[in-house]
Chains A and B, each alone.
Chain A
Amino acid sequence: MGGKEEGMRLRYKDLLGLAHLTSEEIELILHTAAPFKKLFTRSIKKVPTLRGKTVAMLFYEPSTRTRTSFELAATRLSADVLSLAVASSSVQKGESLMDTALNLEAMKVDFIVLRHSVSGAPELLARGVRAHVVNAGDGNHEHPTQGLLDLFTIREKKKKMQGLTVTIIGDILHSRVARSNIWGLTKLGARVRLCGPATLVPADMRTAFGNGVEVTYNMKEALDGADVAYVLRLQLERQQENLFPSLREYHEFYGLDAKKLSWAKKDCLVMHPGPMNRGVEIDSVVADGPQSVILEQVTNGIAVRMAVLYLLAGSSSTLYVPAPEKAVERKAL
């Protein structure tokens, strides 16, 4: 009350990815999520912080988990939520993303949470609207809130990040979850190992994110000494693209089962962004086992998204403009 409390803010008005956040900004979000998580133990889980603000959910791709999580996060901050199901909106009539967004802007929406199959769609949107844009997954690019909730979960369990070895297993090539995690983990000082079939784990991933990323195609090598085994969801349609021969073979080599998990550290965490293909990329005995924190990821997701909405509300109105060479780099991925 007596003096001015020191505060730190996010630099940009939108959350488009973790690639352009500083480690301090990532820490700020994780640090802010902790008190939000504590609210969930109360019988009244709602706080009045974003009363009168409106959050529009604009999902051009199906999603249950992320959408519900954002809706709960917004509701628990007392914001109003407007959900636009793509099938029932004007999108079916051919309205462009930008037109839809400008209409939302005209309705004085304060936040737009966007999921889109095209990489970079949230960035395009962010330039055209005053509302805060939150990327809820764009193409193969990023899924920043998933990355943040994974970082939060790892930090909460391991009490640190620096020096941890996190092995990400599966279809790295098409995974925005993997990209956000790699950016976040390396910025906070963890070592990242990527593992999967060579068709799904490009070797140039070693250098695409700066230091701290290893690539291996051997699960034993990948899991040796690992603190976290992060299993990605296998998009089953990739089989039709001949990126791996069969689900059985994929499971044989890269599916996380009890035997493969035993190659990692005894206290290695098992994580998965959901929804799981049980018996394909992960076995039930592991997914439901004592090392699994998969359901805690879900709980933490709400807290982290509350922190993101809260911090964006107080962020500056600065737009993130990517450096030209970075844009080229991203295209190469």
Chain B
Amino acid sequence: MSRTVSAPALDKLLLDAAGIIAKIQALSEAIVKEFGKRPATLALVGIQTRGVILARRVADQLRKITGQQIPVGVLDITLYRDDVHAIADQPEVKETDLPFDIEDRPLVLIDDVLFTGRTVRSAMNALIDYGRPQCIRLAVLVDRGHRELPIGADYIGLTVKTTPEDVIDVNFKETDEEDSVRVRKWEAKKKE
């Protein structure tokens, strides 16, 4: 999927490739700090689509620290959204693949950006339909504020002050051209 970053007047780089690596390392270390170096049943669950890429990268980092391969599940929340029929383009229903029983497991839910909290709400509802995890933690690369639900992240890479109109673009090499996090300021455009 290609992204156009040219339209708004102000396009600011928040994280470059090295910055993302550092944040993933920090997230991984925080997870190890809570679950220990031998996390027996821990599993990661990435939210489609960039949460999945992030989860895989965190799992790679965790393997470097613990020597253990932490399983990664893929969660699509489309069927649990509260706005399915309000948006112009109907979202594509993607695969959910949890290659482990989530019953009694500690789970770390992973997404690229935390914004209104509605995606995380949907994700928790979806997960609970698969079983009763021992606990669910939330890890995000960027927390941009403007929550509409009482939800907070346990592990945060970067906290950014934004206006609700701003767009945060998380780009990963796997799906985009580069590794970067950018903010597009829409306020700047309004002034023109």
Interface set of A (CB-CB < 8 Å, partner B)? 1-9, 31-32, 34-36, 38, 42-44, 46-49, 307, 310-311, 313-315
Can you list 19 contacts pairing A with B, beta carbon distance less than 8 Å?
A1-B51, A1-B111, A1-B112, A1-B115, A3-B169, A4-B89, A5-B49, A5-B92, A6-B92, A7-B92, A35-B93, A38-B96, A42-B130, A47-B126, A49-B81, A313-B84, A314-B84, A314-B90, A315-B90
Interface membership of B113, Cβ < 8 A: yes
Instruction: Output the least CB separation between A279 and chain B (Å).
Output: 41
Which residues, 8 to 55 on B, are CB-close (under 8 Å) to A? 47, 49-51
Question: Which residues of the partner chain B approach A43 to less than 8 Å between Cβ atoms?
Answer: 131
B7 in the interface (beta carbon within 8 A): no
The size class of the interface chain B forms with chain A is 35 or more
Whether the pair A1, B79 counts as a contact (CB closer than 8 A) is no
B58 beta carbon closer than 8 Å to chain A: no
Q: Is the interface of A mostly helix, strand, loop or mixed?
A: loop
Q: Which 5 A-B pairs have the closest CB atoms?
A: A314-B90, A7-B89, A47-B79, A44-B129, A1-B113
Interface residues of B (CB under 8 A from A): 1, 3, 47, 49-51, 76, 79-81, 84-85, 87, 89-97, 111-113, 115, 119, 125-126, 129-131, 167-170
- Select B50's contact among A2, A38, A314, beta carbons within 8 Å: A2
CB contact between B76 and one of A6, A35, A311 (< 8 Å): that residue: A35
Interchain CA distance A44-B130 in the complex, whole Å: 7
| CB proximity of A289 to chain B, nearest CB, Å | 31
Q: Is the CB of A313 within 8 A of B85?
A: yes
Given known A-B contacts A42-B129, A44-B130, A313-B84, A3 and B79 have beta carbons under 8 A apart: no
CA distance A31 to B84 in the complex (A): 18
Most chain A CB within 10 A, of B49, B81, B89, B112, is at B89
Identify B3's interface contact among A3, A34, A49, CB under 8 A. A3
Output the least CB separation between A75 and chain B (Å): 14
Measured CB to CB, the nearest residue on chain A to B84 is A49
Q: How far is the CA of A128 from the CA of B7 in the complex (A)?
A: 44
Q: Is the CB of B96 within 8 A of A35?
A: yes
Q: Does B95 contact A48, Cβ atoms closer than 8 Å?
A: no
Cβ–Cβ < 8 Å partners of B84 in chain A: 49, 313-314
Once the chains are docked, how many angstroms separate the CA of A54 from the CA of B168?
Answer: 38
- The answer to whether A8 and B129 touch (CB under 8 A), given A1-B119, A2-B112, is no
CA distance A42 to B79 in the complex (A): 15
> What's the minimum C-beta distance from B66 to chain A, rounded to whole angstroms?
28
Q: Complex: how many Å from CA A315 to CA B3?
A: 26
Assembled-state Cα–Cα distance A294/B168 (Å): 49
What separation, in Å, do the CA atoms of A48 and B79 have in the docked complex? 7
The residues of B that contact A3 with a CB separation of less than 8 Å are 1, 3, 167, 169
